[in-house]
Amino acid sequence: MARYLFPRWSNKVLPILIFWVLGPLGTAGIAAAVYYTPNDNINVGYRPKQPVPYSHKLHAGEMGMDCRYCHSPVERGAMATVPPTQVCMNCHSKVRTDSVKLLAVRDSNGNGMPIQWRRVHNLPDYVYFDHSAHMAAKVGCVECHGRIDQEEVVEQKKSLSMVFCLECHRDPGPHLRPADVSVTDMEWTPDPKHGPVAANGRTVYPPTHCSGCHR
């Protein structure tokens, strides 16, 4: 029986396939990936529109409210948390009771359904972060969150990447505040020669090994 020979035209099949089929499909795939998968929401500059146009500039900046009035668990828990609606209503049951901007807050207070805020500072699930530990060492809010007292809408100012964390963990001294400076003070200038000693006199040893954060 004679051996089977591919016809001569079959030599053109592969180049044509690559050029006309795989090339365009791959280009389209890459373009789709570039178009559809930017991680804006974990990058610097992420500034989503919130359901309530809450202004940190007004509350924290101009009126000088302490961060911890609303983010009360920050010193005791891992999360700073967005306050419950009732905290807003502590004041807004008396102040600006007819403001249109506060409609969602009043609704939530009335019907008991929570306000769904969009998360701005979002670490990946494989990273462990505890606000209370950083509060205990007196790392200022501004270190990670930037001048939030000047922001009309909350925006991610720092990269919150691994290198961002490690820069501080490897040399925590300049980021630690003395006892007489509040962690919420946005304008305090750190002393670059400050050693790795917390306000309570304890030397801090921030973890730089993997499992310190990737538990």
The Cα 178–Cα 44 span in angstroms is: 29
Q: Does 82 participate in binding another protein (rule CB under 8 A)? A: yes
Q: Does 69 participate in binding another protein (rule CB under 8 A)? A: no
Q: Does 113 participate in binding another protein (rule CB under 8 A)? A: yes
CA 208-211-213 angle, to 5 degrees, is 70
Give the contact letters, 152-181, x = binds to another protein (CB under 8 A), - = no.
------------------------------
Other beta carbons within 10 angstroms of residue 183's beta carbon come to 23
| Residues that contact another protein, how many (by CB under 8 A) | 33
Buried/exposed 29-47: b ≥16 CB within 10 Å, e otherwise: eeeeeeeeeeeeebeeebb
Closest contact distance (angstroms) between CB of 85 and another protein is 4
Residues 115-144 that bind another protein (CB under 8 A): 115-119, 122
Give the contact letters, 1-20, x = binds to another protein (CB under 8 A), - = no.
x-------------------
Check if the beta carbon of residue 130 is closer than 8 Å to that of residue 141. Answer: no
Site residues, another protein (CB under 8 A): 1, 33, 36-39, 41-42, 48, 73, 76-79, 81-87, 108-109, 111-119, 122
